[in-house]
Chains A and B, each alone.
Chain A
Amino acid sequence: MKFKKYLIPLLVLAFLVLLLFQSCYSVRLVSTVGTPEPAVPHVRDDYYRPYEVTELDTVITIGVADKDFSYLIKSTDLCPSGKLHTVEYRNTFGALLLSAVTFGRKRKVKIKYVCMKD
């Protein structure tokens, strides 16, 4: 009976925590110089529609002795020049929490980037 009494508030709380984990914001850095790599054909319907964009959504694990890491941008079909024009990173509460509970060993990386035209 007691459990039933708390079921609904617990579910609401769980839902709110879930929402909190997903709560996020993005920051976009754009170079004022350089021409972005064009997309062909245009398939997206967001800010990146004109551009060839690379999306990265992963978790990087680093060792206890590692202070930080660099994610290296390489020349690929989507990024022939290997040079950055636009970078958008997304922060979520969940990603922050993941880093906190793993003492910084696991770092969620969610970024979009567009390279300079070759």
Chain B
Amino acid sequence: MAKTTKLTLTEWDTLHNNGPFPLKLLYKTKLESPALMPSDLDRYNDAAQEIQSLITEAKNKNEGFRAYGSAWSMSKIAHQKERMHFNAHMNTYFSFRNQDLHALSGYQAENLFLFQCGNVVKEISEKLAGHGKSLKASGASNGQTIAGCISTGVHGSAINVGSVQDYVVGLNLIIGPNPGDIVYLERHSKPALNDVFVQKLRSRVIRNDGLFNAALVGLGSFGFIHGVVIEAQNLFLLKRYVKELKKDKAIELAQQQNFKTFDGIPEEVKGNGEANIPYHFKVFVNQYKDNGKYVVEFMYKKPYKLNYPDPFPVIKKSLYRDLINLVVQIGSGIPASIPVFINLLKNSILPTVDEVSTGTLAETFWDAPYQGPAFAISFGVSHTDAEKALKILSKVSIDEGPVPGIFAMRFIKKSDATLSFARFPTTCMIEIDGVRWNEKKNLITLNDLSKKMIEALQQANIPFTLHWGKNADWKFSGLVDHMYGADATTWRKYRCSLLSGDMQTLFSNAFLKEVKLDKKEPSDPQLIQSLL
């Protein structure tokens, strides 16, 4: 049997010290030893049974229950004040054969994998590499669990790929304590697995595009995500270039995405004069120093081969933590010193200009060491609004700040997930991130900074979204309706149709209440019908 350890705690915190938040009970579940239960499928189903017993316990006590993995989110989306479940040890996985696929599946069996919720991006990449495969995209690092990634919309800057949830083709959810409460969701328009395999997961299948898209970015509130079926692809390499471009050119690329005419990287210009389209494009913006240039990162996809140059340095240094703390302390007392410090430390903050490296996706978006309390506010806007939004957000951070952080712009393809913040044809994620400061001193609070930014974008009539896993004034009046309009209601309707009333409460938390997504909607059986 899977083994669950129960820790009685008074508080819990995120990796980046965005709490602490109150907590009564922390569960951590480990799978049964393969020596005693050799079948991965048996261990997976055994874990499902264990989770259902924990849900029963929480339900009997009228308490909430929320799963989390690596606690990377900076918002309190992962937190539940009564019972939390650490699931990173639930990390088995399955590959598939043709006979496991649905008759109408357009997927290749060799590209499909089911990962249990607690697999982190790094271990998924390693497991996939064993099959000659790779994830299609990841975030900027590799420590998030797969369930955490899709629940919050983790993204990189893969212009034509999208976010992590965009290559998910199936979801295995535990939505209650009863035998019929394990469901497997996939799109009816793009089925992946057949009923025979789904039965092996002791699940009932629902093939329904609307339901699947709603559950995809489920904010941890669509039940317990037990397994995620993803579509992988053959291993590939990314060739990375760091350049310094004139601001106008960098902004033009951001606004117009006209990479075919960009000749700034001669190696990527083809014989006909047309340039390759990058896989990844990122612009770094130090809002406190205008030298007329931006540092820009490009990555181009290349076929995988052996014997490419080692992408890792032998020695990896990190800034002295005490130095960072000292800078933040001084900056909290004398705000004018913050831009000076950022400029002094820019070589440690920004990538080295003219650097070129090659690596797999996993090697390129590698480990990010813990560097102390951190913050990030991340807005999604249409790429056509990138310049205007960046100007507005930078101005707020200068006028209301300064704060110890700098901006970056990344770009993602539109997602089909109902509550994905990648809602624009190409979404530009404008993010300010840095180190937490002492809010009791002379600087604006993080919440107020975010509030001013939201107000400024609203006043400028720029449609926007916010990254679910980052800091924001989530209590801002009408925020989610403003960002998602009718899609917020659609999401609630699907949730309330799939989950029973008591499970809606059990899988809710303070974050969901703050953003008003916990609001009950009438249950509609039509919404959870299998359409294939």
Residues of A within 8 A of B (CB): 30, 32-35, 38, 40-42, 45-50, 80, 117-118
A50 B88 Cβ-Cβ under 8 A: no
* Interchain CB contact under 8 A, B370 and A35: no
Q: A47-B370, A50-B370, A118-B89 are in contact. Are A42 and B312 (CB under 8 A)?
A: no
What separation, in Å, do the CA atoms of A80 and B89 have in the docked complex? 11
The answer for the CA separation of A38 and B88 in the assembled complex, in Å, is: 8
> Given A41-B9, A117-B123: A49 and B312 within 8 A (CB)?
no
Q: Which residues of the other chain, B, contact A50 by a CB distance below 8 angstroms?
A: 15, 70, 143, 370
* Nearest CB of chain B from residue A53's CB, rounded to whole Å: 12
Q: Which 8 A-B pairs give the minimum distances between C-beta atoms?
A: A35-B123, A49-B370, A40-B86, A35-B122, A38-B88, A32-B312, A40-B28, A50-B370
Alpha-carbon distance between A28 and B70 when the two chains are bound, in angstroms: 23
Q: 9 extra interchain contacts, Cβ-Cβ under 8 A, other than A32-B312, A45-B17, A118-B89?
A: A35-B120, A38-B70, A40-B26, A41-B9, A41-B12, A42-B15, A49-B15, A50-B370, A117-B123
Min C-beta distance of B325 to chain A, whole Å: 10
Contact with A47, one of B30, B88, B369 (Cβ below 8 angstroms): B369
CA distance A32 to B142 in the complex (A): 12
Instruction: Tell me the residues in window 7-21 of chain B with beta carbons closer than 8 Å to chain A beta carbons.
Output: 7, 9, 12-15, 17
Known A40-B88, A41-B26, A47-B370; contact A35-B15, beta-carbon cutoff 8 A = no
Q: Complex Cα distance A42/B11, Å? A: 11
Instruction: Give CA–CA (A118, B316) in the complex, Å.
Output: 25
Cβ–Cβ < 8 Å partners of B370 in chain A: 46-50
- State the majority secondary structure of interface residues on A: loop
* Measured CA separation A47–B319 after assembly (Å): 11
- Residues of A within 8 Å of B369, CB to CB, are 47
Instruction: Annotate B435-450 by CB proximity to A: 1 below 8 A, 0 otherwise.
Output: 0000000000000000
For this complex, 6 residue pairs linking A to B, each with C-beta atoms less than 8 Å apart, are A35-B126, A38-B70, A40-B88, A41-B12, A46-B370, A50-B143
Nearest CB on B from A86, distance (A): 10
Contacting residues, chain A, for B366 (C-beta < 8 A): 32
B30 partner residues in chain A, CB cutoff 8 A: 80
Near A by CB (< 8 A), chain B positions 98-143 give 120, 122-123, 126, 143
Let me know if B71 is at the binding interface, CB within 8 A.
yes
B13 in contact with A41 (CB, 8 Å): yes
A41 adjacent to B88 (CB under 8 Å):
no
Residues of B within 8 A of A40 (CB): 26, 28, 86, 88
Q: List the count of A-B residue pairs having beta carbons below 8 Å apart.
A: 49
Q: What does the 1/0 interface line of B349-380 toward A look like (CB < 8 Å)?
A: 00000000000000100110110100000000
Could you tell me the distance between the alpha carbons of A42 and B13 in the complex, rounded to whole angstroms?
7
Given known contacts A42-B13, A117-B91, A33 and B126 CB-to-CB distance under 8 angstroms: yes
Q: A47-B369, A50-B370, A117-B91 are in contact. Are A42 and B123 (CB under 8 A)?
A: no
Across the interface, name the chain B residue whose C-beta is closest to A35: B123
Within 8 Å CB of B86, what residues of A?
A: 40-41
Give the nearest-CB partner of A77 in chain B: B5
- In the complex the two chains form, what is the Cα distance from A35 to B89 in whole Å? 12
Contacts of B312 in A (CB 8 A): 32
Most chain A C-beta atoms within 10 Å of own C-beta, residue among B12, B143, B370: B370
* Bound-complex Cα distance A73 to B227 (A): 32
Q: What are the interface flags for B312-340 relative to A under an 8 Å C-beta threshold, 1 for contact and 0 otherwise?
A: 10001010010000000000000000000
In the bound assembly, the distance between CA atoms of A34 and B127 in angstroms comes to: 10
Which residue of the partner chain B has the closest CB to A34? B126
* Residues 66-98 (chain B) with a chain A CB within 8 angstroms: 70-71, 86, 88-89, 91
Nearest-Cβ distance from residue B362 to partner chain A, whole angstroms: 9
Find chain B residues with CB under 8 A from A42 CB.
13-15, 71
Alpha-carbon gap, A46 to B7, bound state (A)? 22
Which A residues lie within 8 Å of B122 (CB)? 35
Give A38 to B122 CA distance when docked, in angstroms: 12
Instruction: A19 to B179: give the CA distance in the assembly, Å.
Output: 65
Q: How far is the CB of B141 from chain A (nearest CB, A)?
A: 11
List the B side residues contacting A47 at CB < 8 Å: 318, 369-370
What residue in chain A is nearest B121 (Cβ atoms)?
Answer: A35
Q: From residue B264, how far is it (CB to closest CB) to chain A in Å?
A: 31
For B87, the closest partner residue in chain A by CB is A40
Residues of A within 8 A of B9 (CB): 41
Q: Which residues of A contact B12 (CB under 8 A)?
A: 41
With CB as the reference atom, state the residue of chain A lying closest to B12.
Answer: A41
Instruction: Identify the closest chain B residue to A33 (Cβ).
Output: B126
CA–CA, A38 and B144, complex, Å: 11
* Most chain A CB atoms below 10 A, which of B9, B71, B312: B71
Distance in angstroms between the alpha carbons of A48 and B367 in the assembled complex: 13
Q: Chain A residues near B123 (CB, 8 Å)? A: 35, 117
Q: Select the residue from A34, A38, A117 with max chain B CB neighbours within 10 A.
A: A38
Q: In the complex, how many angstroms separate the beta carbon of A16 from the nearest chain B beta carbon?
A: 23
> With A and B bound together, what is the CA distance between A50 and B371 in angstroms?
11
Cα(A38)–Cα(B318), bound, Å: 21
What's the nearest-Cβ distance from chain B to residue A68, in Å? Answer: 26
Closest B residue to A44 by beta carbon equals B370
The CA-CA distance from A34 to B120 in the complex, in Å, is 11
**Shortest distance from the beta carbon of A17 to any chain B beta carbon, whole Å:** 25
Q: Chain B residues with Cβ under 8 A from A118's Cβ?
A: 89
What is the CA–CA distance of A104 and B240 in the complex, to the nearest angstrom?
A: 49
**Bound complex: CA A19 to CA B321 (Å):** 22
B91 touches A41 (CB 8 A): no
CA of A76 to CA of B123 in the docked complex: distance in angstroms? 21
User: Which B residues are CB-close (under 8 A) to A34?
Assistant: 126
For residue B363, which residues in chain A have a CB less than 8 angstroms away from its CB?
A: 32
Q: Which residue of A lies closest to B145 (CB)?
A: A38
A33 to B367, CA, bound (A): 10
Q: Give the distance in Å from the alpha carbon of A87 to the alpha carbon of B318 in the complex.
A: 17
Q: Annotate B402-417 by CB proximity to A: 1 below 8 A, 0 otherwise.
A: 0000000000000000
Per the bound structure, the CA–CA distance linking A38 and B86 in Å amounts to 10
